[in-house]
Amino acid sequence: MSSSNSPTSQTSNSYVEQTVSVLSSVASYMRLPALASTGLAAVLTSLLYFKQKALIYPSNIPANSRSDVPKPSDFGISNFEELYIPTDDGEKLSAFYIRGPRGHKNSNITILMFHGNAGNIGHRLPIARMIINYIGCNVFMLEYRGYGSSTGQPDESGLNVDAQTGLNYLRQRAETRDHKLMVYGQSLGGAVAIKLVSKNQEAGDIAGLILENTFLSIRKLIPSVVPPAKYLTLLCHQVWPSESVLPNITKVPTLFISGLQDEIVPPKHMKQLYDLSAAPTKRWKPLPGGDHNSSVLEEGYFEAMSDFIAEVTGDTPQEKTRLKLLAFDEGDQMEGVEQDNAENHSPQTKGAEEKCIDAKMTDAEVDKACYMSQAE
């Protein structure tokens, strides 16, 4: 299922194409001696150097991402808190704390979630909804500075401060201070997660690290995304050197989820990170059909997360369920559907669910079927 089918992915792909075009042009000019001698190359180089934050952290892609942030209630989630958390350097970070089902065996596990370089936390709520309903964990979605409703401007040092702020909040919050913590990062969020875990593994409260489609470093990523710009990698002051940081993580089990059709971060980056990992337990989950933005839709994604969490927290992995993705016409009658986790569903989602569920599905199966049908 290609990510290009969704408006968000189309916008993201358009942004990537524009970035490739700009950087390719700059690199081409750099190779022309005549232009270099006139100083134009220096001007273009300066432009790239000072504008790279806008290229790496496109916080308003898709359009209005700074102002339009979906709420958990928009996805039928009712048991949540909307928070604003201060950082030590004066910013305020928006966040969602979403509770899993009461009484679930994983209710003492909280996932600290870091998203990719575009959009906002609201755009990842379908993923959080799958986690609470299929795995049963709580989810803490922290927004980076300069994204969504958070204040400030994003950069590498600032995002590292934000990540530490989020972890400190969970450690100090009465409800979560004794929870087992999982740190989960997608793409750029994977680099954020790696840095955070490397600095905090000694405390013993981080039970696991989950990485999806992240890169070795920004400098190593540029030649793959924009081949002509390989001459410009030394201009990168936003580095995110995960390949040198990850080997320092020796006390936290790590799951690597790699979409083998990733068109932005070459899958070999993830494989090399896996090989570099010195984690006490490390697991590799390839997704043959997954690209950069749609890996989460691939069969086995949430099963891999669930099994890994069960393994590293000492629980028995839940019995694997066969997720039946059945299509129904508008007139199909849906009877006998049980909502095991009714507290996290609002009436407004019932109609949508009835179009994509089988009466014998569990609530988790319902959620995954609906999430995948919405993405088509």
Per-residue pLDDT of the chain (376 residues; tens, 9 = 90+): 333 344 344 444 444 444 444 444 444 434 444 444 445 555 556 666 778 898 899 999 999 999 999 999 999 999 999 999 999 999 999 999 999 998 999 999 999 999 999 999 999 999 999 999 999 999 999 999 999 999 999 999 999 999 999 999 999 999 999 999 999 999 999 999 999 999 999 999 999 999 999 999 999 998 888 777 777 788 889 999 999 999 999 999 999 999 999 999 999 999 999 999 999 999 999 999 999 999 999 999 999 999 999 999 986 554 443 333 222 222 333 222 233 333 444 434 433 333 333 334 444 444 444 444 333 3
Q: Is the dihedral of CA 188, 120, 284, 255 positive or negative?
A: positive
58 in a domain, yes or no?
no
274 in a domain, yes or no?
yes
CA-based diameter of the chain, in Å? Answer: 76
Q: CA 168 to CA 160: how far, in whole Å?
A: 12
Is 292 annotated in the active site? Answer: yes
Domain boundary among 283, 313, 343: 313
State the amino acid at position 264 in one-letter form: I
* Pure H helices in the chain: 7-30, 33-38, 40-56, 125-130, 156-172, 188-200, 218-225, 242-245, 267-276, 301-313, 350-353, 363-375
Give the number of domains in the chain. Answer: 2
CATH of the domain at 150: 3.40.50.1820
Domain boundary among 269, 295, 313: 313
Q: Quick one: tokens of 203?
A: 């405390």
Q: Do 350 and 216 sit in the same domain of this protein?
A: no
Q: Do 329 and 259 sit in the same domain of this protein?
A: no
Domain boundary among 313, 338, 367: 313
DSSP string covering 20-80: HHHHHHHHHHHT-HHHHHHTHHHHHHHHHHHHHHHHH--TT-STTTTT----GGGGT--SE
51 in a domain, yes or no?
no
Q: Do 174 and 287 sit in the same domain of this protein?
A: yes
3-class state of residue 104 by DSSP: coil
Catalytic residue among 292, 306, 307, 363: 292
67 in a domain, yes or no?
no
Catalytic residue among 3, 12, 150, 187: 187
Q: CA 154 to CA 250: how far, in whole Å?
A: 29
Domain enclosing residue 127, as ranges: 72-313
Residue 296 DSSP class? G
Q: Do 112 and 256 sit in the same domain of this protein?
A: yes
47 in a domain, yes or no?
no
Is 21 annotated in the active site? Answer: no
Q: Do 200 and 113 sit in the same domain of this protein?
A: yes
Q: Do 221 and 342 sit in the same domain of this protein?
A: no
Q: Do 189 and 227 sit in the same domain of this protein?
A: yes
CA nearest to 190, candidates 91, 295, 114: 114
Is 155 annotated in the active site? Answer: no
Catalytic residue among 155, 162, 262, 307: 262
Q: Do 215 and 107 sit in the same domain of this protein?
A: yes
